[in-house]
A = this chain, B = another copy of it.
Amino acid sequence: METTRGAERQRTAAERRRRELLEAADRVVLRDGPQASMNAIAAEAGITKPILYRHFGDKGGLYRALAERHTDALLSALRAALDAPAERRERVEATLDTYLAAIETRPQVYRFLMHPSDDAAPATEQGFDVGRHSAPLLRRLGEELGKVIAERVDLGPDSERMARIWGHGIVGMMHAAGDWWLGDRPCTRAELVRSLADLLWGRLAGAGDLPGGPGF
């Protein structure tokens, strides 16, 4: 009896500790970028390295735990925009804007999520295991959006496959355009959102050629 109560107390204490460590890691990563050292994170948490390793295994584990929190937060924000009661175009614009607002207000978080150094690449080399290198966030967003599209849009036969392709494609578009925009700031967020939605709405196909040379 006393055993189980003690074990439970220890478990919850461990969980709280883990959260504290994650918050400390968060602060350091936000300050130093993705190349924050384990020593620095441990120091910020007021402890030393081996504890971090006992909690998270290795650096990849810590970063994965950290990324999961932020990814979940972003994902739920996007889901809210995606589920708003409005026309499809409006919802697409709201989703784009939500994503862009997120990366605009917290660029360090975004940077960390999209560029996890070389985490999950221990010794699985051999042959062609390519594909795991892109940020897991992009994959997850792509899959998620693909599911939503498949659920709600009528794409005829092969709907499932096409929806997934579109999900990843749209997420990639959003990401690359947002990344570039964040660096150069060539226009307002609203303009960017509008232009990307226009692209998705087929304005490229509808636009006329310009004189001189073959039109794109």
Using a CB–CB cutoff of 8 Å, the interface residues on chain A facing chain B are 32-35, 82-83, 85-86, 88-89, 91-92, 107-108, 110-111, 114-115, 117-118, 121, 125, 128, 130-134, 138-139, 142, 148-149, 151-155, 161-162, 164-166, 168-177, 179-184, 186-187, 191-192, 195-196, 198-210, 212-216
Contact = CB atoms under 8 A, between A and B. Distances in A.
Contacts of A210: 151-154
A82 B152 contact: no
> How would you classify the secondary structure of chain A's contact residues: helix, strand, loop or mixed?
helix
Given A110-B130, A210-B153, A176 B177 contact: no
A165 B82 contact: no
Contacts of A92: 216
A196 B149 contact: no
A134 B121 contact: no
A98 to B, nearest CB: 14
A7 to B, nearest CB: 41
B152 A215 contact: yes
A177 B169 contact: yes
